[in-house]
Chains A and B, each alone.
Chain A
Amino acid sequence: MTQQPTNSAARAGGVAAPPPTGPVRLTINGQQHTLQLAPWTTLLDALREYLHLTGTKKGCDHGQCGACTVLVDGKRINSCLTLAVMHEDEDITTIEGLGTPETLHPLQQAFVDHDAFQCGYCTPGQICSAQGLLNEGRAHTEAEIREHMSGNVCRCGAYVGILNAVKEVVDRKSSEHRS
């Protein structure tokens, strides 16, 4: 469900006024889009309902579960707690921008190899968050990875696999740095 205004004329029984939409320029996975959006459209709803990029998931819609995690200029954020109109002229990356079905992103491959999901609903957010963690470069040990991934909840409890998957990619990245 997209976020609908709750005080519209329509609800009061009158004739619905056209929503005050305006053009919003978004750059998603390297592609530019101009969408007609009401200001209250969250970035998450813009991605899912207007661009049909449904890889990004709506879990709690309150910034508590991390399923909606995307990268903005390389930094991970919760797309449910921000308005699309606040992100014009920024570089937004969703799960659709990381790897392809033919050539998986290293994190996607590691999630497959380590059985890091059951239902898969949290997985796009987990992977985008892990990419943010890699970009930050501050988490190395298992304890650090656990802490730095604490904004992503997995209802199936696949944490052991998730930790192993992220650790493998973190380790590979640091050994590439050393060599």
Chain B
Amino acid sequence: MNSFTYHRATAVADAVREQSGRPDAAYIGGGTNLIDLMKENVARPTHLVSVGKLPLSDIENLPDGGLRLGATATNADTAWHEEVKSRYPLLNQAILAGASPQLRNMATNGGNLMQRTRCYYFYDLATPCNKREPGSGCSAIGGYNRVCGILGTSDSCIATHPSDMCVALAALAPTVRVSGPNGERSIAFDDFHRLPGNQPEKDNTLEPGELIVSLDLPAKGFEKNFSYLKLRDRSSYAFALVSVAAALELDGNTIRDARLALGGVAHKPWRDQEAENLLKGQPATVETFARAAAKVLENAQGHGSNDFKIELAKRAIVRALKQAVEGSQTASDVFLNSNP
């Protein structure tokens, strides 16, 4: 790990001031990803501004019926919060499908959005990686790319965003409130993460020095018909190969509203509103689901060792939507959500 100086921020304005004009500085929340990247010399900040103890850990109801998730609330406290469990169970499931209890006790909500890809080459300093060293090339293209993306990739980068929580958020469409040198602003969740294009070093649309202060969920939580289906190489504590957040609003057997987002397939949590439109107004049948799945994967492109993800994703979408209709959960989800 490189040497660095450390400052515990006393207020949001203090944190922003500490970062301002210092591209070599970084915010640290729970540190579960950043400290790992620093040990690997992938991240080399010379100044750390600790924001984990800022008074941004509340989870509170909003006047419009929504729910505000403080940026420094831990993933565990968020998942197990009564309002999240009852009104946004999709989010509860997605958070608990990720990492381990220890990591969820440390990781913050803001940090979950800011975590970086787990592409092998991003971590491997001996190989070129455009995300780590812009202009050096992409080793995953033509390399071992089992974990890499199949949608929205570019010639520069085929990395995926690793979060489970963010896949549920993509479906629930909160607003990301940020504070920076030029004051506060709100970013729609879908606009927060970006596709790699020719600038894969940029994961998101934050301006320099901006800090996430909260995630504001809209009132609609799809608490009756939802599913978070995560497919991975072992049954716990592994990143998704493909995951699906499916949320439906049903009127009898007719789909009134639908949300569909995928993880493990792209540089950002992949919400497909065209596919959602193919679901709305239609009968909730396997045929309808298969049409939506085909739409999502229409332009998918495999890169060799991840070709299997295209078919896997199609089937996962159909299965997740079936589970959402049944209002049932998979066996693994039942125990994740059990209560004392």
Contact = CB atoms under 8 A, between A and B. Distances in A.
Interface stretch (A48-56, A106-114, A141-149): A141-149
Nearest to B99: A151
B237 A82 contact: no
A121 interface: no
Given A6-B1, A150-B237, A85 B340 contact: no
24 contacts: A7-B44, A20-B3, A39-B5, A40-B2, A40-B3, A40-B38, A62-B36, A63-B36, A63-B102, A75-B105, A76-B101, A76-B102, A129-B102, A132-B102, A132-B105, A133-B101, A137-B340, A138-B338, A143-B335, A144-B335, A147-B236, A151-B100, A151-B101, A151-B103
Given A140-B338, A151-B103, A61 B6 contact: no
A20 B338 contact: no
A83 to B, nearest CB: 7
A147 B336 contact: yes
Interface residues of B, number: 37
Nearest to B76: A75
Nearest to A7: B2
Interface of A: 3-8, 19-20, 38-40, 42, 61-63, 66, 69, 75-78, 81-83, 85-86, 129, 132-133, 136-141, 143-144, 146-148, 150-152
Interface in B305-340: 332, 335-336, 338-340
Given A75-B105, A147-B336, A40 B100 contact: no
A164 B106 CA distance: 27
B5 A77 contact: no
B2 A63 contact: no
Contacts of A6: 1-2, 41
B51 to A, nearest CB: 11
A136 B79 CA distance: 13
A81 B335 contact: no
Contacts of B5: 20, 39
Interface string B79-96: 010000000000000000
Given A6-B41, A20-B5, A147-B335, A81 B106 contact: yes
A136 B101 contact: yes
Contacts of A150: 100-101, 236-237
A40 B103 CA distance: 19
